[in-house]
Amino acid sequence: MDRGKVLYVDLAERQARTLPLSESYRTAFLGGVGLASRLLWDHCPPGAEPFDPANPLVFAVGAFAGTMVPAASKYAVATKSPLTGFVGDSLSSSGWALALRRAGYDVLIVVGRALSPTYFLIDDGHVFFRDARRLAGLSCGETEARIRRELVDGSVSVASIGQAGEKLVRYACITNDYGRQAGRTGAGAVMGSKNLKAIAVRGTGSVPAAEPKALAARCLDLFQRAQGSATEKYRVLGTMGNVLTLNRLAALPTRNYQQSTFEGAEEVSGETLYARHLKKIIACAGCPIACDHYYRALDGPHAGTEASLDYESLYALGPLCGVADPDAILKAADLCDAYGLDTMSAGACVAWAFESFEKGLLTPTDAGGLALRFGSGEALVALIEQIGRRESLGRLLGEGVRRAAAEVGGGSEAWAMHVKGLELPGYEPRSLKTLALGLAVGTRGACHNRSAAYEVDMSSKVDRLRADASRGRLAMEQEDFAATLDSLGICKFLRRCFADLYADAGELYRLATGLPLSAADLRRVGERVCTVKKAFNIREGWTRDDDWLPPRLLRDPLPTGVAAGVRLTEGELTLMIDSYYAARGWTPDGLIPEVKLRELDLEDLAPVLAAGQPTPSPIAPRVQRWRGSG
């Protein structure tokens, strides 16, 4: 059964061609993050700079996209990240993934750089290149609406970048279907570097199932479970329900990780926002959960602003910046969506700037006259505007906290909260020790979605406040589990609806594709995908020193809450990292032995890794001058 093809687009040549997708790649990597990561290894030249035209954007739909499997309308995009210089993989969902699959493609690879702003339309089996100069500067939503009007088709699905991607903000994201983002790691900036404003897709085909009746019965059962108690949290409050829980656990990062509790938590909690600000709840295509909550600002200069808000956006634009004003947070989130900015990285950059200002390293002149104080909603909104436009201090902050701290100096590296250049998510590592390990070793950088090790800390398996050698295997298992889900393209919010993910998903895969896949096979896929991403990083210059946490987390004890006085020491982190490498079967330096590659059927990677790595790019290259820019 034909399971799709690869569409290879060269922007410089304005040419597109179709390539076969081998069955061995389908079963070894499934789709989504797994397939995109493997093809990134294949198509990205070793040592290529992120903004080099040869750095590909590899889009891959999840293995179940376009089928009747619920909550599976996802695509991944992988590229060499302009934030980290390592693997950058992001996920988004809804109609764009379904359209690409229905157009006959499992994978889209984009290389080269267009001579002028361009977008292209995939119309089933045909590709048309179009001038996008008139779209320059438009928001993601405006771009999508304009393209649909131009094509006289409201059903066309569009993935686009905003002004932040055009101006190469290193954490710009790709937005599709009016508000779904492939965020984190800067894929939108790579798209901007290629002069590619948007990719429109019209797919009118179908995705046949091998055993449609049996698959329908399984999916109906899964659909019913997805509307039960296992997903109630996401349906009612969404991920915003995390705010008060994490605050009680002293795990809510506040004021750039200077605290782990926020005195304004109640004001920005999911409960308060639901009661006072909720506008509507919507779902991704084919999803029975409907977790996406839209809120409306009520008062002041931002009254009437509407924005989608999840926990990570709320954490980064709220407590992390000391801001307890829901209206200002909603305005900031709305601006991030319009400009195409990753909210987590944007909030972390603002928080770093606030602290640098309060410690005298930045001045009002640097920020266009702003007083950058923790708690200032006005300064938060203004800085997001500056970042999106790459104006004033935004020219510096658009580089991410690692490069910004290297430029400003003065010890500000100590409060630049990132791992490998990717800013931290909204969970306090000092009071969640397994998560601390997961953030340190993550191939993507500091990421809760590719590890979810915090779930171990919040279970009864461990003491979350103490580190020990058991964490290595636990963190590894969480990574492999997440990689499997992300390759199948199943939303993580569905994970508790399976009695046994590996066995149940293997059966769904067989019924959908006709290809047998056992529970053991699926477990191996997760490990294989994590190994491919690590191999890519090693090839691009990774060393053990890159697996570490910011100085603040290893120096300062927590000052507040139930975990007051708790520390995370360098010795504890080293112990856990050692146990993680051992669990993975890697060397003490975190390298992958050839025997492990053979075990995972990745022996073709061995000669490249054995040949040595290219000289890594400087950790913090000089950025354009910004002082005195007004």
Second CATH level (architecture) for the domain 230-243+250-417: Orthogonal Bundle (1.10)
Helix (H) or strand (E) holding 554: helix 551-555
Whole-number Å distance between alpha carbons of 131 and 36? 28
Average pLDDT over residues 288-305: 93
Where in the chain are the domains? 5-202, 230-243+250-417, 429-549+569-610
What CATH architecture does domain 429-549+569-610 belong to? Answer: Orthogonal Bundle (1.10)
Q: How many CB atoms lie within 10 A of CB 209?
A: 21
pLDDT(486) > 60: yes
- Cα separation, 358 vs 272, in Å, equals 30
Gap between the Cα atoms of 459 and 132, Å rounded: 50
Mean pLDDT calculated for residue range 95-102: 96
Averaged pLDDT score across all residues of the chain: 94
Is the model more confident about 429 or about 616?
Answer: 429
What gap in Å lies between CA 537 and CA 590, rounded to an integer? 11
Mean pLDDT of 387-402: 98
Q: What pLDDT sits at residue 179?
A: 86
pLDDT in tens, 17-48: 999 998 899 999 999 999 999 999 999 999 99
In the numeric block, which tokens belong to residue 460? 């009864």
Task: Give one DSSP letter per residue of 50-77, joined into a string.
Answer: TTSTTSPEEEEE-TTTTSS-TT--EEEE
Residues in the chain: 630
- Alpha carbon distance 566, 554 (integer Å): 11
DSSP string of 365-403, one letter each residue = TTTTT----TT-HHHHHHHHHHHHHT-TTHHHHTT-HHH
Pair 585, 596: CB distance under 8 Å: yes
Q: What angle do CA 272, 278, 284 make, to 5 degrees?
A: 120
Lowest mean pLDDT among 117-126, 188-197, 620-629: 620-629
Q: Measured between alpha carbons, how far is 197 from 473 in angstroms, rounded to an integer?
A: 42
DSSP letter assigned to residue 185 = T
- Residue 534: closest CA among 455, 575, 468, 587: 587
Which three-class secondary structure state does DSSP give residue 628? coil
Homologous superfamily assigned to 5-202: Aldehyde ferredoxin oxidoreductase, N-terminal domain (3.60.9.10)
Cα distances (angstroms) measured from residue 507 to each of 289, 504, 550: 22, 5, 43
Q: How confident is the model at residue 328 (pLDDT cuts 50, 70, 90)?
A: very high
Name the band, by pLDDT with cuts 50, 70 and 90, for residue 3.
Answer: low
Report pLDDT digits (tens) over 575-627: 999 999 999 999 999 999 999 999 999 999 999 998 765 544 444 443 444 44
pTM value surpassing 0.85:
yes
* Residue 627 pLDDT: 42
